[in-house]
Amino acid sequence: MSGPSAAGVYRGLLRCYPRRFRDEYAIDMALLFSEQLRDEPAARVWARGVVDLAITIPARHLEAHMDRPPNPTVPVVFAAVSVSGLVLAMVGGSNLGMLVFGLAVAVVAGVLAVAAWGHTRAISAARPATERWWQVLLAGAIVLATTIIVVKVVGEVSDDLWVPMMLTLLAGVVTTAAGLILGIAHLIEHHPRCVAG
């Protein structure tokens, strides 16, 4: 590949960087690459350039994500849809179809709200898993409460629904227990004297 066409390909690869980084450094990087092609064998320049791109492009995108201000619009919309699903399930009452549909909408939209919230946050330092103890405990309690409400509304559980209902109850109990264990571990990590006596 000749010098001018190789430099053009490299300039095209620079478009993989975030816009702010490109605006500041792309011209200088392309100029340096062209000069290196003039002074060194193309294979060596390309090998070094590809390794540099492979390492720095993800790093620059990560930095851009860290600097991004959070936008809570999408998580709030999903949370509102989740609450609407719960209201629909409660209003549906004894209508099994409305109850199942409302709970399904609530769960799916709730999961999407949590996922969207995670994507809108700027990346920060890693936190120990024990700091999320209350979220695990709350999730287990919600699963248990929802299952109990469904059983109360439906009344007698049919043979077809008995196994999924029991598995859901088991998942709620296990999640609640995990939340309690993580909470105790968190207490021990942050307040060892309180636990010791």
Tokens linked to 169:
């109850």
Q: What percent of the chain has pLDDT over 90?
A: 13
Q: Are 171 and 143 in contact (CB under 8 A)?
A: yes
**pLDDT single digits (tens) 10-66:** 999 999 999 988 999 999 999 999 999 999 998 999 988 888 888 888 878 777 766
Query: DSSP letters along 99-113, please?
Result: HHHHHHHHHHHHHHH
Better-predicted residue by pLDDT, 72 or 196: 72
- Roughly how many angstroms between the first and final C-alpha of the chain, as a whole number? 74
Residue with tokens 């636990």: 195
What pLDDT does residue 127 have?
60
What pLDDT does residue 197 have?
52
Tokens linked to 143:
């699963």
With both helix axes pointing from N to C terminus, report the angle between 73-92 and 96-120 in degrees, rounded to the nearest 10.
170
Give the span between the Cα atoms of 55 and 57, in whole angstroms. Answer: 6
**pLDDT single digits (tens) 89-113:** 777 767 777 778 888 888 888 887 7
Amino acid (1-letter code) at residue 194:
C
Q: How many CA atoms are closer than 13 Å to the CA of 55, on its beta-carbon side?
A: 6
Give the span between the Cα atoms of 194 and 189, in whole angstroms. Answer: 10
Q: Is the pLDDT score of 68 beyond 70?
A: no
**pLDDT single digits (tens) 124-173:** 555 666 788 888 888 888 988 888 887 777 777 777 777 777 888 788 88
Tokens linked to 71:
């936008």
CA dihedral 21, 23, 27, 32 (to 10 degrees): -10
Give the residue among 24, 22, 47, 51 at the shortest CA–CA distance from 37: 47
What pLDDT does residue 15 have?
92
